[in-house]
Amino acid sequence: MREPDPTIHEEDCAPRRVLELFGSKWTSMVLHALHALHGGTCRTGELQRSLPGISKKMLTQTLREMERDGLLSRRVFDVVPPRVEYSLTPLGREFIEPIEMLYEWGRTHAEALDRLGQRPRSRRRPSVPDGGAESG
Per DSSP, helices labelled H in the chain are 14-20, 26-32, 44-50, 56-68, 90-108, 110-117
| Domain 21-108: top CATH class | mainly alpha
What is the structure's pLDDT at 119? Answer: 65
Q: What is the pLDDT of residues 33-87, one digit of tens each?
A: 999 999 999 999 999 999 999 999 999 999 999 999 999 999 999 999 889 999 9
Q: Are the beta carbons of 105 and 122 closer than 8 angstroms?
A: no
CA distance 117 to 109: 13
Q: What is the pLDDT of residues 114-134, one digit of tens each?
A: 888 776 654 444 443 444 444
What is the structure's pLDDT at 5? Answer: 67
Q: What is the pLDDT of residues 14-27, one digit of tens each?
A: 777 777 777 778 99
**Which region, left, alpha or beta, applies to residue 39 given φ > 0 means left and ψ of -120 to 50 means alpha?**
left
Give Cα 16 to chain centroid, integer Å.
Answer: 14
